[in-house]
Chain A
């Protein structure tokens, strides 16, 4: 158990809908990262937050957004969902802003039908 908690574990939704994925980082970790893993794209970095502020952006679509709250939990919002958004979404956390080991949650499986 990495200490990173993600909910929900699985969800199925229709195209055009919006979903929110939630992440609680390890106790004491200030950085949260979001990754998307799909068969064709591999493990893609989406976005990082550090202590409530956006720190770095990767291959995140404009339809997707995230935030980190004062209690350090984070949410990833996916809107106008398309079939191609079906993937495993991971949250990870680390103590510092960069250069540290990052610890992954078990992921949220999203299926868009």
Chain B
């Protein structure tokens, strides 16, 4: 299995600010996925970026992938209080099993 590790562990910002969180991994991947988890709820898939892509957008989300550094970042622009959640990355490809780190806990203050 392959595991992503998110950084920072916790992030606290004001509404309207941008939030950036990072993910590092150790082995080659075919794709990397970001998920969001509201407290006590299931994980919700946000975006998937393939290893041959460098950047992907979805609404206020921007994901980058640097396979040479084995890292990815998730940027949430113009954060809202509703973005308060934990964010996880999961690496994928081949016969992998999606495994998750401890996530980044994001708090957006209104």
Contact = CB atoms under 8 A, between A and B. Distances in A.
A108 to B, nearest CB: 11
A103 B100 contact: no
B60 interface: no
Contacts of B10: none
Contacts of A82: none
Contacts, number: 62
B4 to A, nearest CB: 11
A65 B3 CA distance: 24
Interface in B58-104: 88, 90, 92-103
B33 interface: yes
B41 A99 contact: no
A99 B93 contact: yes
Interface string B8-33: 00000000000000000000001101
